[in-house]
Amino acid sequence: MDGRDGRPAPRSVLVTTDHLAPGDEVDLLLQGAGCATRHLPLRGVRDPAELRAALRGVQGALIANEPMTAEVFAAATGLRAVVRTGVGSDSVDVAAATRAGVSVSTLPGINANAVAEYTLGLVLMQARRLVPTAAGVAAGGWPRQEGMELRGRTLGLIGYGAAARAVVPLARAFGMTVLCSTGVPPGQRGPAEVRFVPLAELLAAADVVSVHTALTPATRHLLDAAALALLKPTAHLVNTSRGAIVDEVALAEAVRAGRIAGAALDVTATEPLPADSPLRGVEGITVLSHLAGQTAEARRAAGLEGARELLDALDGRPRSSLNAHLIPPSSSSTRPPPMRGTPT
């Protein structure tokens, strides 16, 4: 629709990613492309009704972990494109978006380096008992427990996406052997310095298990009590992917009982961590606040690339849409014509 002066009316874009703000370079990029922006940063839990209200009259949305449910898509009748400033899509009901004619994009590999470095940080943190040692000193003590060296140890990667691949050279630099369990086809696996094995073999052999797979119905509670029972009593678990891949009750019980040595979790099934979480108060389990991809470099790249992808999607040319190829070229709904694109 054109404005009164004959120029196209601005496209309305909602930005909920919490590190993006009015007047920043992402905002200026969107405004320079003819978009009217509104910022409603998600910090914590949001009332779904607030999100539905915020999306009224909006054509595009740039989001982080905003829950985009079927009810949200049904209410947002003008919405044409959603872009997550991250790599996962589990917070978005992609099937509902497809039915509504809304393109959904993610940014594969956008924070791989940040996640890989952070993963090695968690591995070192667990191996050298840094968190309990610092806590002991803060409490007036002087803990001197031994840790373990990484050289000669085995790191098991669950999943082999961009972040896991970026972990490999870092782990190898520390002298670790790297195993991986993945659904990636053999022809696409790459470097020979990784040995690909079934999950059960990986769990039994690894000194540290690091989770990098996507959350899907098949991977929800992939690491349940039976899987955790395969780990060595000296093994540690690191998770920078999605919390629900791990059965948190089973993990807490395993660590508390000494069946595994401990865990460092950057993600949990519910975020922020609930007061009644089974993970609270378990010696050996450290929970952080979903920070793996939160570097200045990764945030900047995600914001800019997310904005560019949103503009391309609104123009009918999404580059990393999960569903544009599934949206029919015409629709009986009242929405504008949906996007077309290629599968990723």
The domain ranges of the chain are: 11-109+296-326, 112-287
**Of 71, 271, 317, 319, catalytic:** 271
pLDDT tens by residue, 267-291: 999 999 999 999 999 999 999 999 9
The 10 Å Cβ neighbour count of residue 322 is: 21
Please tell me the distance from the alpha carbon of residue 198 to that of residue 127, in angstroms, as a whole number.
25
CATH superfamily placement of domain 112-287: NAD(P)-binding Rossmann-like Domain (3.40.50.720)
**pLDDT single digits (tens) 98-151:** 999 999 999 999 999 999 999 999 999 999 999 999 999 999 999 999 999 999
**Is the Cβ–Cβ distance between 63 and 89 less than 8 Å?**
no
How many CA atoms does the CB half-sphere of 131 hold within 13 Å? Answer: 18
Unique residue bearing structure tokens 């993610």: 106
* Number of Cβ atoms within 10 Å of the Cβ of 162: 17
Choose the catalytic residue: 39, 212, 290, 299: 290
Q: Is 242 among the catalytic positions? A: yes
State what percent of residues in the chain have pLDDT above 90.
87
Does 271 qualify as catalytic in the annotation? yes
d(CA 258, CA 108): 37
| Residues near 335 by beta carbon (within 8 Å), at least 6 away in sequence | 77, 78, 79, 80, 100, 101, 102
Longest Cα pair distance anywhere in the chain, in angstroms?
Answer: 74
Beta strands in the chain (DSSP E): 11-15, 35-39, 60-63, 81-84, 103-105, 154-158, 177-181, 194-196, 208-211, 236-239, 262-265, 285-287
Do 112-287 and 11-109+296-326 fall under one CATH topology?
A: yes
Per-10-residue mean pLDDT of the chain, 344 residues long, equals 59 97 98 97 89 96 94 96 95 97 97 98 98 97 97 98 97 98 88 91 98 96 98 98 98 98 98 96 97 97 98 97 89 41 32
The single residue of 153, 242, 305, 309 carrying the catalytic annotation is: 242
Can you give the pTM of this predicted structure? Answer: 0.89
pLDDT of residue 343: 30
- The hierarchical CATH code for the domain 11-109+296-326 is 3.40.50.720
Res 192: pLDDT: 73
- pLDDT at residue number 190: 77
Active site residue 144: no
